[in-house]
Structure formats: C-alpha cells, structure tokens
Amino acid sequence: MWKQNKPELLAPGGDLEKLKIAVLYGADAVYIGGEEYGLRAKAKNFGLDAMAEGIKFAHDHGAKVYITANIFAHNADFNGMAEYFQAVEKIGADALIISDLGVFSVAKEAVPNMEIHVSTQANNTNYMSACMWYQLGAKRVVLARELSFQEVKQIREKIPQDMDIEAFVHGAMCISYSGRCLLSNYLSGRDANKGACSHPCRWKYHLVEETRPGEYMPIEENERGTYIYNSKDLCMIEHIPDILESGIMSLKIEGRMKTPFYVGTVVKAYRQAVDDYLKSPALYHERLPYYLEEVSKASHRDYTEGFFYQKPDGKQQIYNSNTYIRGYDFIGMVQSDSDPATGIAVVEQRNKFSVGEEIEVMPAKGDAFTMRVSKMMDEDGNFVESAPHPQQILQIFFEKPVRKFDMLRKIVLDAK
C-alpha cells in the first residue's frame, strides 16, 4: 500500500531572480530551463554559470533544482546534448525533465546516475505508460492535465511504490492535449514543441464563410469578438486534501514566463495551505478564504478545477477576453534588510507609487502587513514624492522590519 510522504511544492524559475524568490517563498524544488532543449524559448532561461549559482542557492536553502529538456527533438538537436547533460550534472542539478524517448536514451547513457522525470509533454495518461517509463529508468512521471482524481488514484495503485507522481495544480491551462500544440506552427511558423509557442489559443477569432471573404462574423455574440480557445487558469488550492489523497507527491505550479511577484505570491499561498493542512485539517479549512484571496492578488484569468472532478464543458473557456484579472500591482522589491536603527531599506521600483499611498509588504515568511508610505528618498538621499522610473533605486522607511526579497504591492483601484 502506497503511503504519502510530505508532498513537494514545485515552482517555476524563469530566471535567477525568480528561482531565488521561489525558494525563499516556500518551494521545495524549482524547475528551470537552460539555453537549449527546453519548452520556454522566450523565457530568459539559464546559462551554465547562472544555473550553477541558482543550484547552489537552492541547495543552500534545502531546495532542489530540476532542468527542463523536454523538447520533441529533431536530428540536429542531438548535437552536443550528451555534453550538456554532463555539464548540468557536474554543477549539481537534481533531475532532468524529459519527454522525448530519444532524448531520454541520450540522458541514460550520458548521465546514468542522474534522476529523470518524464514531462507532461509525453502525454502520461495511464499506468501502463508510467510503468514502461519506470522500467526504462525514470524516477517520476508528470501527469497529463487531462486526468481526473479517480484516474490519478488508479495510476498510483498500479505503479511501483518508489515512483513519484507529479501534477500541475495551479496556472495556465493549454487548449492542446498536454501542451502538444500544432496551431502555433501552422498559424505563425513557430514550433510550440521546440519552445517557441506564439500562444494562438489567446488570439481573437471570427468565423469567415468561404464565398464571403472579408466578412468576419463573431462565433459568439460579443462586440469585442470571441476567444474560443482561451482556457481559464487552474487553481486547486481549495482541494489540497483531495490532491494528497490521490497520490500526487509533487504539486506543480505553472509559470516560468510569469513575474517574480506572481511566483512569490502563489508559492507562498500554496506553502501555507499545504503546511496548515498537514498541521491541522481544521486550520486549513478555516483559512481557505485567505488562501484564495492571496492567489487572486497575482495576475490571473478566472479559475477552473480543470479535469480533476469532471470533464470540462464550455464553462472552462473564456469567450470575450484574453486579458488577465489584476487586482494588485507589484511595485517594488526590497534589496537589503532594513536598518534596525532607522527602519530604512533599499527598494528597487517595479511600478509607480507615491508618498502617501497605502501599500502592502509581502514577506517571504510570515503575514503581510499594510502601511502608508511616509517618506522616500532616491539613492543619493534626496527626498522624492513619487517613484515613476522603472527599476529606480529608493530608500524607504518601513514601520516593521523587512528583509531582502520581500515584495511591495498595492491595490489597483480600477481593477476589473
């Protein structure tokens, strides 16, 4: 009988800053992409030096780092692949995330002692394929998003006890089968299966009749058009008990292209939810409104439970917009611990704010607190009334102690 150990919270790291934020805000592991072989070509990604720094930072804080190598490879992609895998093993990466059988075979030969996780891109929808991957040497299978809790439980019962199950619990959903999109290649010439997706699922679509070119008829009546492929975002923070009971060991948050604010906000909320549940189910249920409020402070689409409870119907799509719901602005990142004597800390501005405005300080650990900006200076010590310049360095007085990587946010008054 399989027994759940403490679950892993797995967060995205689109660059070095986001990796550090993910770790400090509560992730047990971070998944990142190198400059080759990953499926987020537009992310900043990591050169080997930055990767080594990120891995050391994670390990120093008790977290792991997994490297994505989940493209569907063409012949030319294998040039230098074995050497790349050996390089990331040498700098301490904890696992490779792979979807292609050929890439898998290269990894097994080049780095036989390295842990391999089979990507969701491999369309892992049944226990037979999971067992086959295990026989080939995989340690973990990342499930397709198209599975229900019932199917997840059946897979858990049928696979080896020491094989891990990972599943997405939060973030953007893909309209295509586990992300294997052909629309992008067809419509824009950019191969989603090699990391260059143009996200045509978010575009505006109309219907055109063959004999009446140029007449664009909306597929659903709306003056702004329709977005027939645009899925709501997955959010399972209300269902931590069902997630853990199903046999999912690693709870994966989507978002290597998202902001540091998104990563920190969502990771912290799930960290608190999981820890509270493990401490006391009653405490978890009591704090559900708080977790939902917190994840909703990060930019998001309307939320859905995906396939976990039932097959989605039309209600899981967004037909009249491709915009995000944004209730809070990320306005600054603390760059140094506050001075105990003066309460002043250095902040890097991310969005405009002014003296007199009420802001929230979101620390990596502990509860957020609200304060009004009473005084602010530029880096030369001159008093300023506002911070309008991107990445402007400021000195701000804080009512409570703050630490490096704490984040500042403020309510968007005209949020919709």
Looking at the chain, the domain(s) classified CATH 3.20.20.70 span: 8-176+232-310
Looking at the chain, the domain(s) classified CATH 2.40.30.10 span: 328-411
116 has a pLDDT exceeding 60: yes
Pairing of strands 29-33, 64-69: parallel
pLDDT tens digits, 328-349:
999 999 999 999 999 999 999 9
Distances 351 to 42, 185, 329, 403 between C-alpha atoms, Å: 23, 35, 7, 19
Residue 353, φ and ψ in degrees, nearest 5: -150, 170
Question: Which CATH class, in words, describes the domain spanning 328-411?
Answer: mainly beta
Q: Report the alpha-carbon distance of residue 383 to residue 389 in Å, rounded.
A: 15
Q: Given the structure tokens 């967004």, which residue do they identify?
A: 318
CA angle, residues 335, 413, 323, in degrees to nearest 5: 85
Q: Report the alpha-carbon distance of residue 145 to residue 152 in Å, rounded.
A: 11
**E strand or H helix that includes residue 29:** strand 29-33
**What value does the mean pLDDT of the chain take?**
88
CB 173 within 8 A of CB 234: yes
Q: Report the alpha-carbon distance of residue 239 to residue 383 in Å, rounded.
A: 48
**E strand or H helix that includes residue 410:** strand 407-411
Q: At what angle do helices 260-279 and 288-295 cross, to 10 degrees?
A: 170
pLDDT tens digits, 124-159:
999 999 999 999 999 999 999 889 999 999 999 999
For residue 165, the 8-state DSSP code is E
User: How large is the greatest C-alpha to C-alpha distance in the chain, in angstroms?
Assistant: 76
pLDDT tens digits, 184-217:
776 777 777 666 777 777 777 767 777 888 777 6
What are the b/e assignments for 195-215, b being 16+ CB within 10 Å? bbbbbbbbbebeeeeeeeeee
Give the pTM: 0.87
Q: Report the alpha-carbon distance of residue 365 to residue 361 in Å, rounded.
A: 11
Q: Given the structure tokens 């990060």, which residue do they identify?
A: 298
CB 153 within 8 A of CB 246: yes
**Architecture of the CATH domain 8-176+232-310:** Alpha-Beta Barrel (3.20)
pLDDT tens digits, 273-285:
999 999 999 999 9
Q: Given the structure tokens 């802001």, which residue do they identify?
A: 359
**Residue 411: what residue type?**
I
pLDDT tens digits, 21-67:
999 999 999 999 988 776 555 556 789 999 999 999 999 999 999 99
Q: Report the alpha-carbon distance of residue 344 to residue 347 in Å, rounded.
A: 10
Reference 385, options 356, 345, 409, 411; nearest CA is 356
Q: Report the alpha-carbon distance of residue 351 to residue 67 in Å, rounded.
A: 31
298 has a pLDDT exceeding 60: yes
- The tokens describing 101, both together, are 């059988």
